[in-house]
Amino acid sequence: MHVKAKKRKKSLLEKIDGPSEADKLLPRTHEEKMASRRIVVVLEQCALELVQPRKGAAELLNADEHKTILAKNRRDISEVRPDITHQCLMALLDSPLNKAGKLLIYLHTAQNVLIEVHPSLRIPRTFKRFAGLCVELLQRNKIRAAGANETLMKVIANPINKYLPPGSRRFGLSVNGRSVRMRDFCAGLESEAKGPQASKGDAAKPVVFAIGAVAHSDPVSEQQFGAEYIEERISICPWGLSAAYCCSKVANEFENLWDIC
């Protein structure tokens, strides 16, 4: 009886306090995710893969700790870089764009596993803790918040097209794409959505950006990686940039454009 009373009291307090101001900004329903002025980032070819050593529990395969296993299987060390995904998630989830509820994130792994990331996820600061989080995710297919009924990360069914808003503009960042100045490009998208030729709901439709979470290669230009949903590939710099910087660049430009912070 004491336990039940405690649970009732907690629920009552939660009901009185209600969600925080930051929580109110986050999209709660499928309809909210499909509409409103928002950015969707898809990290392509993420190196999130489990490995089972001879002794011990499953681990996240990475180039630093599993060189022997990679060499035995004749795999390129540069292709097994889960730390890149970690860097990208820190850049995106820590951004004011995400804090304002204007960002949605999906991870598409090299093993064709699709993962949805909740905007309220507090990504671990160290790679070791992040690796532990990914191991639990890939084993259980979801990560729940401690003490709350919120799913922070979950494996979802392919393809990614099912989760992208219909009619949204979809771009992939690639060195081989059309050269653009990111600030002018983003401003052009906003003007296009608000122009006289735009339909009433165009200004509220999200914009999708696909970014390769890899050390080299160009996954957004290669169909076998599942990037066929991209309508155009753009290049924001003539030199190769890190995936984390590309994520920061997208977030920063729309923060300036939408007057966030």
- The domain locations on the chain are 29-257
pLDDT (tens digit, 0 to 9) for every residue of the chain, 261 residues total?
454 444 444 443 333 333 445 555 666 665 666 667 899 999 999 999 999 887 778 999 998 888 888 888 888 888 899 999 999 999 999 999 999 999 999 999 999 999 999 999 999 999 999 999 999 999 999 998 877 678 899 999 999 999 998 888 999 999 889 999 999 999 999 888 775 555 544 556 789 999 999 988 788 876 555 568 899 999 999 888 999 999 999 999 999 999 997
Q: Which two tokens stand for residue 208?
A: 């999708």
The answer regarding whether domain 29-257 maps to CATH 3.40.1280.10 reads: yes
